[in-house]
Amino acid sequence: MSVYIDPAVATSLRGFEMPEKLGFGSVMAPVMFRAVCQDGCWSSGELVPYAPLSLDPAAKVLHYAQSCFEGMKAYRTPERGISLFRPERNAARLAHSAERLCMPPVPEALFMEGVRTVTAYCANLVPATSGESLYLRPFLIGTQADLTVSASTSYEFYVIASPSEAYHAGNMRVWVEREDSRAAVGGTGDAKVGGNYAASLLSIARLKKRGYDQSLWLNPGNRQTVDELSGMNFFTVMGGELHTPALNGSILEGVTRDSVIDLARDLGFTVHERAIDIDELLRQVADGTCEEAFACGTAAIISSISVFGDGGESYAVAKAPGLVAERLRQALLDIQEGRGEDRFGWMHPIEPISVD
């Protein structure tokens, strides 16, 4: 690799102590990858100690939210060492997100160099417990200091990492969000950009007060069919078959969603990608036709949904945790954590680099 390694990286890594309690996304690895883009030209990447960014107060990202990101994980496997899961998918999606916000796509080679370098140097920080992993957060921000509403001429790309537990554990209570939207038709719903998440925070705050965990977002065009949860895609199980909202431009195409579909079909399940009407779904939950529901995402893996809340009503799902969800979760983790055969070629092994 041509990446420059800052001499201080070794000291940072040697001085790092893994805390006992990880949580999600709060313990940060002591190094990060960085590359800059000026007027369309990318610098080569460098691995440096994790440290505050210096941003001009007029930087575009701070005013016009010119930012996009990815979430991915490095897993520790007993026989194959450290591996990333389908990283080329994240590279492609970051490029798609960047283009939606008029940002220069991070070249795939640079993206891969970034996630590989961080993972290789942080190999010792990849947890060994099942369900835990080194969460990687590649992100791209517009840094030009200028208050006109226009695309930045300069950008910075980073890969930071966080040894983490799963984002959600146990059954989730989801709230059918009838008022707010996370992104518009013709908006940024199929891109992983900051603004979608900002728009979702108020809904999350409201539902937490009602004892729920996540918003279930409806399509902003019809406000009647299910799109996704923030950062997670949605599945149900009915008559032993899987149903998930078809991609429609306002749903983020999850890497885990795609993998679950492939995995489920390989395990013999029928998978329907279709529009899912929320009122029909709630009736099916109420009468038990909908046997299971679950959310999936890189951070959340697969999390069963136990209850749907909608206005004054709540609807308990017949099986939570559901057997199908559990089976898929285990099958996915078996591949990711190296207990099962990598029969789809999803795992991307990383050779650890030691600084000792």
Contact residues for a second copy, defined by CB under 8 A? 24-26, 28, 32, 50-58, 61-67, 69, 99-102, 135, 137, 139, 141, 145-151, 158, 160, 162, 167, 179-188, 193-202, 204-205, 220, 223, 230-231
Q: Which CB sits closer to a second copy, 186 or 288?
A: 186
CA distances from 37 to 87, 155, 171 (A): 21, 5, 43
Note whether 136 and 72 are within 8 A (CB): yes
Note whether 87 and 108 are within 8 A (CB): no
Q: Which CB sits closer to a second copy, 42 or 197?
A: 197
Q: Which CB sits closer to a second copy, 290 or 299?
A: 299
Cβ–Cβ contacts within 10 Å for residue 79, how many? 6
C-alpha 85/C-alpha 299 separation (Å) is 12
Q: How far is the CB of 148 from a second copy (least distance, A)?
A: 5
Q: How far is the CB of 41 from a second copy (least distance, A)?
A: 19
Q: Which CB sits closer to a second copy, 194 or 338?
A: 194
C-alpha 92/C-alpha 107 separation (Å) is 9
**Helix 87-100, helix 255-266: angle, nearest 10:** 140
CA distances from 123 to 126, 133, 318, 353 (A): 6, 11, 41, 7
Q: How far is the CB of 330 from a second copy (least distance, A)?
A: 25
Note whether 224 and 277 are within 8 A (CB): yes
Q: How far is the CB of 230 from a second copy (least distance, A)?
A: 6
C-alpha 261/C-alpha 273 separation (Å) is 9
**Alpha-carbon dihedral 203, 206, 211, 215, rounded to 10 degrees:** -10
Q: How far is the CB of 207 from a second copy (least distance, A)?
A: 12
Q: Which CB sits closer to a second copy, 181 or 336?
A: 181
Q: Which CB sits closer to a second copy, 28 or 286?
A: 28
Q: Which CB sits closer to a second copy, 146 or 334?
A: 146
Closest CA to 234 of 249, 217, 250: 217
Q: Which two tokens stand for residue 335?
A: 């591949």
Q: How far is the CB of 129 from a second copy (least distance, A)?
A: 19
Half-sphere exposure of 13 (CA within 13 A, CB side): 24
Q: H-helix or E-strand containing 259?
A: helix 255-266
Q: How far is the CB of 163 from a second copy (least distance, A)?
A: 12
Q: How far is the CB of 38 from a second copy (least distance, A)?
A: 17
Q: Which CB sits closer to a second copy, 104 or 338?
A: 104
